[in-house]
Amino acid sequence: TYLDKNQIFYQLIWKKDHPKFPKAVQDIFPWFSEAPVETYRAFGVQAEYRSINDIITKEGRKIAGEGGGNIGDCMVFVGGILLDFNYKAMSRILKVPDEKFRDKVFKTMEENLTTMKRELGMIPPREEVVKVLKESFEKRIGTLKKASLTPEIIQKMNELEAWMTSDEFLHQKTPRIPAGVKIREGVEVLYGLHKARGGLIRTAEEVSEGRIEDIAISGDFQFYPKEGLTGLEGTLEKVPLDEDKIIERVETFYEEKRVESPGVESKDFATTILSPVQTSK
């Protein structure tokens, strides 16, 4: 996520049992998206919600992404209004395999991601957009009252800012994950990538003699409760690299743990896991 002064970022946090908010995960995104969609339309951008968590223009270009999750006994919904966007900065700071890939990211973003400035030819006054957005949310959740940040919160913000702008944080070494590395005969580390309806899925898996020895799953898809993802990783250990076996194990886990992942199905996980295996054949 790239944030700067050209975006209006918002977060909504509520107790899971709050009577004004949807209870079902599949209802949260369309319900909360009504306010930003209404805001875009108020300024002349014909926007609409697209499942699972995007807001798009009538031409199909993305003009906002949204996210959500659970924190303790609360739920969180986040999103932003794109006044403008620095495509070059976003593509420049991403860690990618090579410059060709970086150029592709830049070109694809320009083609598929738009802003109020691109749609309208100008940026509406920020304070006016904030006012309309606030009023749109108030229609659904009631009057919002301005609150001041406490000294404790400000202190914590300063601590996090100092840490996240330090050389130690900014220059942390993160391993580049290759498409596949052969460790020895019969043992490989593979990198899977698959775009499901609900978002991008990535897997890094250690494979031994045709079975999953260890696996890490990540991506930009929604998974509730988020703590369950570690359990899914664990339950996939020792499973053969067979589509039906993987699907069966994922579906059993979903039923037992009652997890939800809007737009991501068991077959999507199987496709991600098996994609590097099939490519190498």
Q: Domain containing 253 — which CATH number?
A: 3.30.390.50
Q: Specify the DSSP element, H or E, that contains 191.
A: strand 187-196
163 belongs to a structural domain: no
**Pairing label, strands 62-65, 67-71:** unpaired
> 175 lies in a domain?
no
- Does 231 map to a domain? yes
Same domain assignment for residues 14 and 127: yes
In a domain, 159, yes or no: no
Domain shared by 48 and 127, yes or no: yes
Task: Look at residues 96, 130, 147 and tell me which one is the last residue of a structural domain.
Answer: 147
Tally the C-alpha atoms within 13 A of residue 269's C-alpha that lie toward its C-beta: 27
Residue 162 lies in a domain: no
What CATH number corresponds to the domain at position 109?
Answer: 3.30.930.10
Same domain, 14 and 141: yes
Same domain, 83 and 126: yes
Contact 212, 237 (CB under 8 A): yes
**Same domain as 259, residue 218:** yes
Torsions phi, psi for 9 (to 5 deg): -95, 135
In sign, the C-alpha dihedral spanning 144, 48, 267, 281 is: negative
Residues 245 and 181 sit within 8 Å (Cβ to Cβ) = no
Whole-structure pTM value:
0.71
- The answer for residues whose C-beta is within 8 angstroms of residue 41's C-beta and 6 or more apart is 47
pLDDT tens track for 221-268: 999 998 999 999 999 999 999 999 999 999 999 999 999 999 999 999
So what's the pLDDT on residue 23? 79
Contact of 65 with 167, CB cutoff 8 Å? no
The pLDDT value recorded for residue 181 is 63
Verify that 136 and 266 share a domain, yes or no: no
Q: Where are the alpha helices (DSSP H) in 87-174?
A: 87-93, 99-112, 116-120, 126-141, 151-164, 167-170
User: How far is it, in rounded angstroms, from Cα 149 to Cα 47?
Assistant: 33
Residues 6+ apart with CB under 8 A from 15: 73, 74, 75
Residues 189 and 103 in one domain: no
**DSSP three-state, residue 64:** strand
Name residue, tokens 């949204």: 66
Range of the domain at 190: 180-280
Within-domain flag for 118: yes
> Do 14 and 68 lie in a common domain?
yes
pLDDT at position 174 is 67
Identify whether the C-beta of residue 217 lies closer than 8 Å to the C-beta of residue 233. Answer: yes
Q: Judge whether 216 lies within some domain.
A: yes
Tell me what pLDDT residue 149 has: 92
251 and 121 in one domain? no
Residue 77 shares a structural domain with residue 129: yes
The whole-angstrom separation of Cα 93 and Cα 72 is: 32
174 within some domain: no
Q: Which residues contact 261 (CB under 8 A, 6 or more apart)?
A: 198, 221, 222, 223, 224
Give the residue ranges of the chain where pLDDT is below 70.
Answer: 96-98, 100-101, 174-186, 278-281
What's the pLDDT at 177? Answer: 47
Q: Which pair of tokens denotes residue 94?
A: 């991403």
Give the number of domains in the chain.
2
